[in-house]
Structure 1
């Protein structure tokens, strides 16, 4: 981030005029999934113990082995933090899980990696459940003739996200999705929003974006001409916040409020 950006709030520099609504696109984490705090270090401690063959529930482990696992977990957490900071504060570059592991000195092709990755996913399972309002919301949008999309800043693969949507019974209602792990940029870069609109076959000026972050979701989507709905129910950590001077086009205090907001635009 430049010195000027650090001293002055970011704002929308240009915004094409919005047209008729044809699609509504959603952020994933903290928007389609309810927000709650997570010990991000624990995900990698679970992973590292599996890499070193240390049973998760066992207390009868030599301290030397525990220290080795902790050192690896700290190394991966640092690499992940650097990746997210690059995307948020520097060049908007995206990252993948395998890239982060390689930066931390882990070879994703190793057999232990696959075992550790399974443990990592088990850790995340209770934190990835889709909000119960998502299916009726998506159904309501479809009934209005609108396409439904997902655009997420993520280090996880498309397949992993789709497994989550299928598990929670909403995959069949998603018309198109894009993930930063598959493109070279993260939100709020305009190319991320253009990518999901291209997938849906709609112009950005004919789409709405729904998300819980003013910087990544509201600022970025408005700059490409999308209407932006803010869902302010996430307690975003201070070190993940970027000061912005933006005004969302609508505010949804629960997800089903999106239908009411969109109805106002459809009627207008």
Structure 2
């Protein structure tokens, strides 16, 4: 995102969303996801130990947890999903869930050259993502794809109390890179509620990447109007220069 705050003339910080922005949007079979997640349920010799029933409970729990994120900006973890479903789980058995998602985590090939171009101008790059996954999963994906060395600060909502569009979530991302002035920040994301309206509500500018098919139940109460829209991540450095000059 940015240097510690000084009197630079240009915008100092560039925030980044993850899923649907740094990774390309994928449609996902959420029933299959719940079945994979249910592999981590602590099994018991009981008639109630039904894998498909567990998956259904976890699917409903996911709707509740993400509803809290949408309506109350309340964060959650994978453990919270199981707690909401009323199920005990073994963290060591989350491998099936991880493996289900891993093919959907590939970093867009345009990310590294785009970040390199931004950082070559003296800017810093930050990541802020609404997620229940632990930090080490996200960092591992970035490291696998050879881009984490370009990240100056990253915040995953599983490790803070808030989710986007809360200004506190954006504030946590700014703090991660040592910036206190939201006017020095531009946020890039695929969601008009969480990313665009949220960024504007927190005092940042916002660039929209309209590649994602946002489920109706995740849209939120307001759709923001971005400062710019791009169809390719490679366009972002030029857009940033234009926003800095305006």
Q: What TM-score do the two structures reach when normalised by structure 1?
A: 0.82
Between the aligned partners of 1:175 and 1:199, the Cα distance in structure 2 is 8
- Indicate which of 170, 177, 180 corresponds to 2:147: 170
**Per the alignment, do residues 267 and 118 of structure 1 end up closer, same or farther by CA in structure 2, a change over 3 Å counting?**
same
SS of 2:141's equivalent in the other structure is helix
For 1:9-42, what per-residue CA distance to the aligned partner results, in whole angstroms no more than 9, with x for missing partners? xxxxxxxxxx731111111111111001101121
Between the aligned partners of 1:52 and 1:177, the Cα distance in structure 2 is 32
Do residues 31 (structure 1) and 13 (structure 2) align? no
Q: Which runs of 5+ in 2 are unaligned?
A: 1-8
Do residues 40 (structure 1) and 30 (structure 2) align? yes
Tell me the CA shift for residue 236 of structure 1: 0.9
Partner of 1:237: 215
**Per the alignment, do residues 130 and 245 of structure 1 end up closer, same or farther by CA in structure 2, a change over 3 Å counting?**
closer
Partner of 2:57: 75
**Per the alignment, do residues 47 and 83 of structure 1 end up closer, same or farther by CA in structure 2, a change over 3 Å counting?**
closer
Tell me the CA shift for residue 107 of structure 1: 2.6
Q: What TM-score do the two structures reach when normalised by structure 2?
A: 0.89
CA RMSD of aligned residues (A): 2.0
Contact 1:46–1:116, Cα closer than 8 Å, also in 2: no
**Per the alignment, do residues 65 and 260 of structure 1 end up closer, same or farther by CA in structure 2, a change over 3 Å counting?**
farther
Tell me the CA shift for residue 243 of structure 1: 4.5
Q: Which runs of 5+ in 1 are unaligned?
A: 1-18, 54-63
Please say which structure displays the higher CA radius of gyration.
Answer: 1
**Per the alignment, do residues 162 and 97 of structure 1 end up closer, same or farther by CA in structure 2, a change over 3 Å counting?**
same
Between the aligned partners of 1:230 and 1:198, the Cα distance in structure 2 is 23
Contact 2:125–2:153, Cα closer than 8 Å, also in 1: yes
**Per the alignment, do residues 49 and 247 of structure 1 end up closer, same or farther by CA in structure 2, a change over 3 Å counting?**
closer
- Indicate which of 52, 66, 79 corresponds to 1:98: 79
